Amino acid sequence: MTRRTTFMNGLAALAALTAGIGLANGASAAEELQMSYFVGQRHPMVKAVVVPLQKKLAELSGGELTVKVHFGGSLVKGGPPQYGALLQGVSDLAFSLPGYLGPKFPFSNAVTIPGITQNAEDATNKLWNAMDVVETEYDAKIIALWAVDPKILLTRKPINALSDLKGLKIRVTSKQDESYVNKLGAVSVASGVTVIHQNFTNGVIDGVHIGASAIRSFKLHEPADYVVTNLPPSMSPIYILMNQDKFNSLTPKQQGWINQVAGRGLSLGGGRGYDRVGGGGLKFATEKGVKTIALSDAEKGRWLAAMQPEVEKFLNSKIDVSSSSSKVDITGREFVAKLNAK
């Protein structure tokens, strides 16, 4: 061993010892959390939820705990794989929709049931009212859980009455949406959001049941000729989750910073943001030549009446958690009561 090698090894040992003393005295190394975000940087929830999460965490920690976002599926591609990849530790944080794995998240997806909630802000608050039950279906830490704006219907043919839907293939967000849309006489097709434009353009589907906020984000005005509004209200939930093992590996101080940022407040930023962006999506569609058809209240009532047997089935039955991590034994009616609790 040369003198230079001995000298360099000594410096390395001294550096390690100094770092160890610093950590023992309460100093913590900077930590950068990796977030998977399967859609692009211009998605409206970047401004409404992601940036506030990043800023608040960096501010509280003095820059010791930060979040790097991997946009456009550059870390994990597509919405459905996000949850599994998070549990495997591919990402520290993940953004996606519980609806992509429908039966695994029966409590979160309850806000898709027509008439249970009225708008994104209302659905977000209700999910947090029942968080003691909702959190049992996740094997990860909930950072934010909120809802998309009320769904509209984009089609190529005018839809003025229930009978106009007969036989149309309509894309829905969640498997749990399927039975309700089928009751309207349509044929529901569940799929991820990133393939909607192509499927709609190519005629694989005849229409899309989705929040109006998605019109601009996914250019759905291009294949659509009509947008139908004043439907029975149905929302879709969205989450940002954190790998539980990653959270557990952090220091108590770092965990405290995350707990201060996470929760209802951050989530409501998403819900309110979606309600605003939904209105903008409808305006954008009109400007691009998509014709608006607003169902009359009487016609809306007929749609809701057609779906009511499925709603009653949910309310009167035990919620099926056989595909979920939850072990909570509760009926739909009991769960809705928790959603509505103040």
Question: What is residue 47's DSSP assignment?
Answer: I
Cα separation of 54 and 32, whole Å? 11
Give the pair of three-digit tokens for residue 197. 């434009």
| 31-101+113-147+236-275 and 151-235+288-339 have identical folds | yes
* DSSP-assigned beta bridge partners for residue 152: 210
- The CATH T-level fold of domain 31-101+113-147+236-275 is D-Maltodextrin-Binding Protein; domain 2 (3.40.190)
- Single-letter amino acid, residue 16: A
Q: Report the SS3 class of residue 107.
A: coil
Q: How many Cβ atoms are within 10 Å of 11's Cβ, its own excluded?
A: 9
Q: Which helix (H) or strand (E) holds 248?
A: helix 244-249
CATH of 151-235+288-339, one of 1.10.3720.10, 3.20.20.70, 3.40.50.360, 3.40.190.170: 3.40.190.170
Give the start-to-end residue ranges of the domains of the chain. 31-101+113-147+236-275, 151-235+288-339
Give the pair of three-digit tokens for residue 300. 């809306």
Cα separation of 215 and 283, whole Å? 10
8 A C-beta contact, residue 185 and residue 179: no
Among candidate residues 308, 311, 338, the one with its CA nearest the CA of residue 107? 338
| This prediction's pTM | 0.87
The three-state (H, E, C) secondary structure of 261-327, written as one string? HCCHHHHHHHHHHHHHHHHHHHHHHHHCCCEEEECCHHHHHHHHHHHHHHHHHHHHCECCCCCCCCC
8 A C-beta contact, residue 160 and residue 227: no
Q: Report the SS3 class of residue 151.
A: strand
List helix spans (H) across 50-137: 51-61, 82-87, 120-129, 131-134
Long-range CB pairs of 108-111, under 8 A, 24+ apart, other chains included:
108/134, 108/137, 108/145, 108/237, 108/239, 109/174, 109/176, 109/237, 110/314, 110/319, 110/332, 110/335, 110/336, 110/339, 111/147, 111/234, 111/235, 111/236, 111/237, 111/339
128-175 per-position pLDDT tens digit: 999 999 999 999 999 999 999 999 999 999 999 999 999 999 999 888
Give the pair of three-digit tokens for residue 42. 């211009």
Q: How many Cβ atoms are within 10 Å of 136's Cβ, its own excluded?
A: 15
- Residues 44, 46, 50, 54, Cα dihedral to 10°: -140
8 A C-beta contact, residue 303 and residue 184: yes
Cα separation of 109 and 121, whole Å? 15
Residue 172's region, left for phi above 0, alpha for psi from -120 to 50, else beta, is beta
Q: Splitting the chain (342 residues) into consecutive groups of 10 residues, what average pLDDT does each group show? A: 45 40 47 97 96 98 98 96 98 96 96 96 98 98 97 97 97 90 96 91 96 94 98 96 98 98 98 96 97 97 97 97 98 98 84
Longest alpha-carbon distance in the chain? 91
**Beta strands, E only, the chain:** 31-37, 65-70, 93-96, 141-147, 151-155, 169-172, 187-190, 207-211, 226-229, 237-242, 291-294
